[in-house]
Chain A
Amino acid sequence: MRAAPAMAETVPITIAVNGVERTGDAEPRTHLADFLRHHLGLTGTHIGCEHGVCGACTVLVDGETARSCLMFAVQANGRSITTIEGVAEADLLHPIQAALSKHHGLQCGYCTPGIVMTLIELQRDLAGEPITEPAVRKALSGNLCRCTGYQGMVDAALEVLNAGQDQEVRP
């Protein structure tokens, strides 16, 4: 193992987070999840593995989901990030959030921010088209949850994503 350089070089990083420009200094090796959490105080994005598998750290980067533990904060310079803190409107929860509560789609809440961001992208991608349960489950297969057994969040997703469909969606 090598020793660290004599001075830990930090770089200035400016990111638009939830529509607000935020600045901080961090070492290049600081990943985006740690930067959001500890430099910007946005602790809603959670870290579950730092290996890119569990999905708890999922945020939107320029509108697309990404594992924030697999991106260095410096790579997000000049980009636009959406985190869980930017989803609800002041008092009103986003329909996806409200549905998750209604259908008991969260228990400890640790994986929940990643689930919400994943479903937000899914909703946008569907652009009003209906979705089946197997497709929802596939879309959620990149997020690990140990508490809920997934059923509640699947039901929440089906309700919100198929809202406005005239007929029940058959697989």
Chain B
Amino acid sequence: MAQHAGEATDAPVSNGLGRSVQRIEDDALLRGRGRFVDDVALPGMLHAAFLRSPYAHGRLNRIDVTEAQVLPGVHRVFTYADLRAVLTSDRIPLAMPAGAIRFDVDPFVLARDEVCHVGEPVALVIADSRHIAEDALGLIAVDIEPLPAIVDPRGGLAEGAPKARLDCPDNLVARAAMQYGDIGRAFADAAHVVAEEFHLHKGGGHSIETRGVVARFDTAERMLTVWDSTQMPHQAKRVLVRSLGLGEHQVRVIAPDVGGGFGPKFVFHPEELAVAAASMLLGRPVKWIEDRFENFMATAQERNQFWTVEAAFDAQGRLLGIRGTLIHDHGAYTPYGVALPQNSGTNLLGPYVLPAYDLDIRLCLTNLVPATPTRGAGRPQGTFVMERLLDRAAVHFGLPREEIRSRNLIRADQMPYETPLRTRDGGLMVYDSGDYPECQRRALDVSDWAGFAERRAAAVRQGRYRGIGLANYVEGSGRGPFESAAVSIGPSGKVVVTTGATAQGQGTATMLAQLVAASLGLEASQISVIAGDTAASPLGLGAFASRQAVTAGNAVHQAAMQVRAKILAIASNALEIDESDLELMNGRVSLKGAPEMGMSFGQIAGSLAGLPGMALPKGATPGLAAAVDFQPKGMAYCNGTHVAEIEIDPATCSIIVERYTVVHDCGRLINPMMVDGQVLGGVVHGISSALFEWMSVDAQGQPQTCTYADYLLATADVVPRIDIHHMESPSPLNPLGIKGAGESGTIAASAVIASAIEDALSPLGVVVRELPMTPGRLHALMAKATRDGAAA
């Protein structure tokens, strides 16, 4: 499977890195004993269904719920006005501060007087069962006057375009420029300019578990508890506290087992507030589980970007500058600021030296569900553009693709590399560590790049095209501002970790447990981890931007080391043994080689717990616990190189991915097995986006692909084995030297597949400007190229 180029060095105390510890989550999940939000059943619980807008844009004139209200089994039908009565503001306060945003577009909890995307929640039915709630939906009469819908962001930004939202001055929700260097000079001096247009489309997150919320407002205690299939329970709590006018002590959000996140569950959606408000108004617990049809039309996703770019090169194929425009389909409101296209813009630089840059980014409001991150968060698009430009230039200059890249890659001796670009925190984008040329070199080696010609010849003899692709990328990870973790041991001796980090399958609990276990001389399976519960950790952020290994990992490591230090200090005093002669093993601290001469963790914790009138051990502070909020000093940049080989059968225009190699550098690995799992999942998601996934919407904004028969995800039979190799360039930005890995698999996949397709079809001169590359699209490209070739 994977090979690890360097194991973590053995410090005097093992830090737990580099061990493929078996996951502590697995046993329960394998037995079907997970506890996902739909598994939560509370006494008196009612069920919710949302009536959703059938139009992409319209004036909501009237809603008549009288017939629905009297259906047996229906408890209430809520519209905006009903819920507004318990809210502190008209709109849900989601806006993230961003200078580029020209006007705030926060959503309403339910549509108020305008509907702005198909699937927007309009009314909320609460009934004895989901079945009855759905029956009631059909009895609600809605009077919507359709208005023109903006579906294409290019059209939406054109002069005279109708407004996507009546409450906004125009459709240009944000404009940002990424600029540095002398771009005019770059193009004046250019030996060659590549000019291109690209249309990129990412699609939905499509975790196999949809969204869902259970809310219970205890009227006696005035306490709101919400089980939410979310990546961000603390953020959800913040929004609920503010919107419902409650105190922080009155709201608890629990992310139970979550069946995949991938980005959409990082965003706060109106349904979360609507269900909470409904439970308050009814005084009964309310459950809402999103069904897959709703998921297609009402869950945030990434969609269209239109790029027009030019790249200037000198006579040796070195980049002088890139300029262009990015028009981004933003969706109907702004739950996540403008970071998505900004990530695209910054990730375009990749691991390359780019002396000048001028990208005009425009975000267009559209009458579609908001575009927010799905695994990769805009970065794959930037990488795609850069890698295509390099491949084009390689053809022009007659240079091998790996050579033109080598000439442009940032060298290891230039690290840490300060790019001239500013990130949204305001600082410069600095790549902290990595050896990009070596990474590419290894990838070419382990993928047998040199031997490809023979493999191509063999395919050609059998009437097929075969191509090999190459792509390099970086990914900023470990985003701050902080993450929290605490380690505590009580008189029972049990070690408990609490954290603001969350889990959706990436093995957060195992990762944290193995770090703590290493510091305390235990096995990971002996540690309990509570994640995703705002009651367990007062502060926290959660899972996004490949950050938890860096932030929560370092936090928990430091907390565990503090607890370790306290154990040694107390034990040393109590046993009158020098700390350096003590060891921690199996829940005890004892004289090395003489385990009977020691104390259990429980005893130490007991001695620090306090008895009335009894003094604590000399100099000690109460309790055996430590809490750390780790604030990363900057983004830690992981990097990698992907190589892929594909075959195309011209008769069927089917693409088969035959081989796929990743050389991946995410600094020190905590659990190599789990890192591989993240890369594998990301690569397959990327292949899926490149070849299969297309969220189709018609000209009126009606989603046309709302089932898994229409919108295809990659299955086991259409992806190859993925060969993963690791390099470890530790990050200097955090004590453990860790970088993130959760999204990196997706970031280069589209680029490398496109590179392979172009290589396979180079005899035809086919160029890839648009994805996914379905058989139908490929046929059109090949047919056109053949016609153009014949005409030439």
Is A–B contact present in the complex under a CB 8 A cutoff?
Answer: yes
A contact residues vs B (CB 8 Å cutoff): 1-4, 6-8, 27, 29-30, 37-38, 41-51, 53-54, 56, 83-85, 87-88, 93, 97, 100-102, 104, 106-113, 116, 133-134, 136-138, 140-155
- Give 7 nearest A-B pairs by CB, closest first: A44-B32, A1-B138, A108-B505, A109-B29, A110-B259, A149-B680, A84-B32
Contact B716 A106 (CB under 8 A): no
With both beta carbons as reference points, the residue of chain B lying nearest to A30 in the complex is identified as: B131
**Beyond known contacts A88-B30, A109-B25: 17 more, CB 8 A cutoff:** A1-B135, A3-B135, A8-B73, A8-B132, A27-B131, A37-B38, A43-B38, A43-B39, A56-B208, A85-B31, A101-B22, A108-B505, A116-B30, A145-B208, A146-B208, A149-B683, A149-B719
Q: Point out the residues of chain A lying under 8 angstroms from B29, CB to CB.
A: 106, 108-109, 112
**A8 partner residues in chain B, CB cutoff 8 A:** 72-73, 132
Shortest distance between the CB of A147 and any CB in chain B (Å): 5
Residue from B26, B674, B713 in contact with A146 in the complex, judged by beta carbons closer than 8 Å: B713
Chain A residues in 8 Å Cβ range of B206: 146
The chain B residue with its CB closest to the CB of A152 is: B677
Cβ B259 vs Cβ A108 within 8 A: yes
Indicate whether B506 reaches chain A with its CB closer than 8 angstroms: yes
Contact A108 B257 (CB under 8 A): yes
Whether B681 lies near A29 (C-beta < 8 A) is no
Instruction: Please tell me if the beta carbons of A97 and B31 are within 8 angstroms of each other in the complex.
Output: yes
A91 CB → nearest B CB, Å: 10
Q: Looking at the assembled complex, report how far the CB atom of B727 sits from the nearest CB atom of chain A, in whole angstroms.
A: 20
Chain B: CB-nearest residue to A110: B259
Majority SS at the chain A contact face: loop
| Given A108-B207, A146-B262, CB of A51 within 8 Å of CB of B292 | yes
Chain B, interface size category, equals 35 or more
Chain B residue, CB-CB nearest to A113: B32
Question: What are 25 of the A-B contact pairs (CB < 8 Å)?
Answer: A1-B138, A3-B67, A4-B132, A8-B132, A38-B41, A43-B36, A49-B707, A54-B208, A84-B31, A85-B31, A88-B31, A101-B26, A107-B506, A108-B207, A108-B208, A112-B30, A138-B716, A140-B716, A142-B715, A144-B715, A146-B205, A146-B260, A149-B680, A150-B719, A152-B677
**Chain A nearest Cβ from B152, distance in angstroms:** 28
Q: Are A107 and B677 in contact (CB under 8 A)?
A: yes
CB of B45 to closest CB in A, whole Å: 10
Q: Is the CB of A147 within 8 A of B715?
A: no
Across the interface, which residues of B come within 8 angstroms of A111, CB to CB? 208, 259
Provide the bound-state CA to CA distance between A93 and B257, in Å: 21
Q: Are A97's CB and B30's CB within 8 A?
A: yes
Q: Report the bound CA distance from A110 to B25 in whole Å.
A: 12
B282-319 near A? 1/0 per residue, CB < 8 Å: 00000000011000000000000000000000000000
Determine how close the nearest CB of chain B comes to the CB of A109; give it in whole angstroms.
3
Indicate if the CB atoms of B135 and A147 lie closer than 8 Å: no
Residue B104 is within 8 A (CB to CB) of chain A in the complex: no
Cα–Cα, bound, A8→B209 (Å): 29
Q: How far is the CA of A95 from the CA of B492 in the complex (A)?
A: 34
Q: Name the B residues within 8 Å of A51 (CB-CB).
A: 292, 707-709
List residues 92-141 of chain B with CB under 8 A from any CB of chain A: 131-132, 135, 137-139
- Of all chain A residues, the one with the shortest Cβ separation from B684 is A149
How far apart are B214's CB and chain A's nearest CB, in angstroms? 13
Q: Is the CB of B26 within 8 A of A106?
A: yes
**Is A109 within 8 A of B30, CB to CB?**
yes
**Given A44-B33, A88-B30, A88-B31: A148 in contact with B677 (beta carbons within 8 A):** yes
Tell me the smallest distance from the CB of B294 to a CB of chain A, in Å: 11
In the complex, the chain A residue whose C-beta lies closest to that of B138 is A1
Contact call B207/A4, Cβ cutoff below 8 A: no
Residues in A with CB closer than 8 Å to B209 are: 46, 48, 108, 110
The answer on a CB contact under 8 Å between B713 and A4 is no
CB distance from B482 to the nearest CB of A (A): 25
